[in-house]
Amino acid sequence: LSSFSGQHVHLSAKINGQLVVRPYTPVSDINERGSIYFKDTHPLFPEGGKMTQYLDNLKIGDSINIRGPGGLLTYNGRGRFAIKSSKKADPVQKKYKKVAMLAGGSGIAPMYQLIKASLADSYDKLEMHLIYANKSEQDILLFEELLNLEMKHPTRFRVWFTIDARKGKGMSSRVRHSHSPLG
């Protein structure tokens, strides 16, 4: 499933007689078959929400309605962004050398999409810094993938993981010491 970096799609389906519409951000590379949702990752919905359960039960040959891609930000590569102030506004073209990103929970998807697109282009010199917040260490999506990207591209991508230690037993030394802004 391909889309532009920073964009999402809306999936819609009639589920139990009710129209359900949900935004999803593809996290696979633009040129590969991929997935657009995570199952067994949200602690409040271990079986997924209505749409995730519906998607999980689709059979070969079934179809679903998709609208998009859409969004207010598109990453065009090599530090170039198209940014809209509203859905109907024309995009303003901006170029940056560095970007700082803050994501929480499943909000990592559009950031991950942008990070992967930038790092895949050897001519792209954009430097990216990501702070990724979650309630617990178990809630961190794409943990290994983000660490691997940081290890492969240490001058271009840095990630810091934060969790709400009050809710759990704290965080492992791997998260706390090696990937925390506090160090």
Looking at residue 124, which CATH number applies to its domain?
3.40.50.80
β partners of residue 10: 23, 67
pTM of the model: 0.77
Residue ranges for the known binding site for FAD are 22-24, 39, 50-51
Distances (CA, A) of 178 to 10, 13, 32, 86, 142: 37, 43, 32, 38, 17
Please count the other Cβ atoms lying within 10 Å of the Cβ belonging to residue 48: 17
Q: Pick the closest to residue 52 from 36, 67, 65 (CA basis).
A: 36
Do the domain assignments include residue 150? yes
Q: Does residue 108 share a domain with residue 50?
A: no
Do the domain assignments include residue 74? no
Do the domain assignments include residue 168? yes
Could you tell me whether strands 98-104 and 92-95 are parallel, antiparallel, or unpaired per DSSP bridges? unpaired
Whether pLDDT at 112 is above 90:
yes
Q: Does residue 162 share a domain with residue 120?
A: yes
Q: Does residue 140 share a domain with residue 102?
A: yes
pLDDT (average), residues 169-176: 51
Whether pLDDT at 176 is above 80:
no
Out of 49, 69, 89, a domain closes at 69
Q: Does residue 101 share a domain with residue 65?
A: no
| CATH number of the domain encompassing residue 63 | 2.40.30.10
Do the domain assignments include residue 147? yes
Do the domain assignments include residue 92? no
Query: How many domains is the chain partitioned into structurally?
Result: 2
- Segments forming the whole domain that contains residue 110: 97-176
pLDDT tens for 135-160 read 888 889 899 999 999 999 999 999 99
Q: What is the pLDDT of residue 182?
A: 42
Q: Does residue 158 share a domain with residue 102?
A: yes
Do the domain assignments include residue 110? yes
pLDDT tens for 14-67 read 999 999 998 888 776 656 665 555 555 555 565 667 888 888 888 999 888 999
pLDDT (average), residues 101-116: 92
Q: Does residue 102 share a domain with residue 65?
A: no
Q: Does residue 41 share a domain with residue 110?
A: no
Q: What is the pLDDT of residue 9?
A: 87
Q: What is the pLDDT of residue 129?
A: 98
Residue ranges for the known binding site are 22-24, 39, 50-51
